Structure 1
Amino acid sequence: MRALRILLIVAVVLGGLFVAADRLAVNYAESETADRIRTSQGLDRTPEVSIHGFPFLTQVLGKELDEVDVALADLTATAGGNEVNVTEARAELRGVRIDGSFSSATAARADGSARISYADLTEAAPGEAEVTYAGPERAAKGQVKVSGPLVKLLEDADVPLPEAAKALIGDREVATYSTVTLVEGATVRLKAESLPKLPLPGFEERLRKAVDLDLRIEGLPSTITLDKVEAGETGLRFSGTGEGVRLTG
């Protein structure tokens, strides 16, 4: 019995050492992978990498990781020269194959997503245009509300207004519902459904410069194509998939 107890104690100790070694190895791998992703994707900050599955060391020996999650907060998108903060971008990678030299890896499939708040969209909008939640019915159609003082929006869009026209418009606010679409997998487009009419040459075209936006989202792997957008109460969420996504190298 004493010998059996000793064997059990040794097994538990060795098992604990293996688990500890396994966790140390995965922590090192996550840190190294994050640094390589930052370099290969040209990011200005290091992402958070989580490698799932146990044991990790046996996955490495087989040169295939079951699941790797990559998250990066506070990215920047561009909107006509303005910048907009991307709250978070995530990529969930499955079936990650490691090459023979352990210098690069490719995921069989990846699901990517990004979130932008209405406050950050408003910050990026020209002038005093404000982007807000349009309510459940409009949101179900992929629409947001864009509003602002009409005179100010026109001035920001470089639309010349005679003083008489300014006096006529006064403090009038303009509010329109804009449909959100995805263009070429990484550009988010907000296009107004309708705009007020005024007897000024080129009025609608110039006003659209103030209320229509194109946002280019950076930070996701280039092989992930965003193809879905949802308008929630706090902001917009974009998602998409990719195959054969190169993780590092």
Structure 2
Amino acid sequence: MRALRTLLIVVVILGGLFVAADRAAVYFAEGQVAQKIKSSQGLTHDPSVSIKGFPFLTQVLDSSLTEVQVGLGGVSATVDGRTVEVTEVNAILKRVRIDSSFTSATAGEADGSAQISYAALQQSAPKGVTIGYAGAERAAKGQVKLSGALADVAEGAGFQVPAALKPLVNGEKVTAYSTVTLVNGDTVRWKAEDLPPLPIPGLESQVRDLLDHDMKIDGMPSTLKLDKVAAAEDGLRFSGTGKDVSLTS
């Protein structure tokens, strides 16, 4: 009986040492992966990396990780040529295959998401137009609120208001709701729904031409293969899935 108790104590101690060594290895690996991602993506902040699955060491021996969760900070993109901050950038990478030299990896599946605030998007908004949240009901339909002083919107649309008609637009506001979709993974397409009645004939068509436009986004992290955009309370939220995604450049 004493021998059995001694054996159990030894097993527990060895098991604890293995767990400690395994967790230390995970911590080290997460730091190395974070540095690799920071370098390959040109980030200004260290990303957060969490390697899931236990034991970790057996995954390394198999050159395959069950799941890696990555959060990126300090990410910038360009919207119509203007630099903007991208927030809440996250990726869940599954079935990550590591090459024999441990210098690159490929995720069998990847789920990514990112957000650009309305304030950041405002830099590329049509002249005279303010971009904002349209409320929960309209946001669920993928709609964003576009508003502005009618005189400014008319000017942005290139509409020359005759002097005799300027009293009709001065002080007036215009509000429209635009449905956003993602095209080719890098272009937000804005399509205005029915415009409110405008006081000057011919103004509606030019305002619609102003509001219906494409917004090109470049420089998203290469780990994000985006195919959807949604209107959230704080901005546009992008998401997407990918297969066989390379994690290094």
Structure 2 equivalent of residue 37 of structure 1: 37
Give the aligned CA root-mean-square deviation in angstroms.
2.9
Which deviates more, 130-139 or 204-213?
204-213
Structure 1 Cα separation of the partners of residues 83 and 91 of structure 2? 22
Q: Are residues 180 and 127 of structure 1, via their aligned partners in 2, closer, same or farther at CA, if it must alter by over 3 Å? A: same
- Residue identity over aligned pairs, in percent, reads 55
Report how far residue 97 of structure 1 moved. Answer: 0.6
Q: Which moved more, 1:48-57 or 1:166-175?
A: 166-175
Give distance in 2, aligned partners of 1:175 and 1:210. Answer: 11
Matches within 5 A, 1:205-216: 205=206, 208-209=209-210, 212=213, 214-216=215-217
Return closer, same or farther for 1:204/1:104 CA change in 2, 3 Å cut-off: same
CA contact (8 A) 1:75 1:88 kept: no
Aligned length: 247
Q: How does 1:129-148 map to 2 (within 5 A)?
A: 129-148=129-148
CA pair 39-159 structure 1, distance change in 2 beyond 3 A:
farther
Name the residue aligned to 1:52.
Answer: 52
**CA offsets 1:113-154 (integer angstroms, 9 cap, x no match):** 122333443455355532223234432331111111122334
Q: Which residue of 2 aligns with 1:241?
A: 241
Structure 1: gaps of 5 or more residues = none
Cα deviation 1:204-231 (Å, max 9, x = unaligned): 5577447745141533326x43222222
| Residues 79 and 216 in structure 1, CA contact (< 8 A), matched pair in contact too | yes
Alignment of 1:98-177 (within 5 A): 98-122=98-122, 124-126=124-126, 129-156=129-156, 161=161, 164-177=164-177
- For residue 77 of structure 1, what is the aligned residue in structure 2? 77
Q: CA deviation at 1:112?
A: 1.4
Supply the AA of the counterpart residue of 1:233: E
Kindly indicate whether the alpha-carbon contact (under 8 Å) linking 1:147 and 1:174 is maintained by their aligned counterparts in 2: yes
- Report the alpha carbon displacement of residue 60 of structure 1 after superposing the two structures with TM: 0.1
| Partners of 1:81 and 1:56 in 2: CA distance | 43
Task: Quote the offset at 1:65 in angstroms.
Answer: 0.3
TM-fit CA distance, 1:164: 4.7
Cα deviations across residues 182-207 of structure 1 (Å, max 9, x unaligned)? 01112222232355654579x85577
1:157 and 1:30, CA in 2 relative to 1: closer, same or farther beyond 3 A?
farther
**Cα separation, 1, equivalents of 2:31 and 2:165:** 61
Does residue 180 in structure 1 map to residue 154 in structure 2? Answer: no
Are 2:226 and 1:226 equivalent residues in the alignment? yes
Question: Could you say what secondary structure the match of 1:226 adopts?
Answer: coil
Residue 220 of structure 2 aligns to a residue in which SS? coil
- Unmatched segments (≥5 aa) in structure 2: none
Name the CA distance, whole Å, in 2 between partners of 1:228 and 1:207.
24
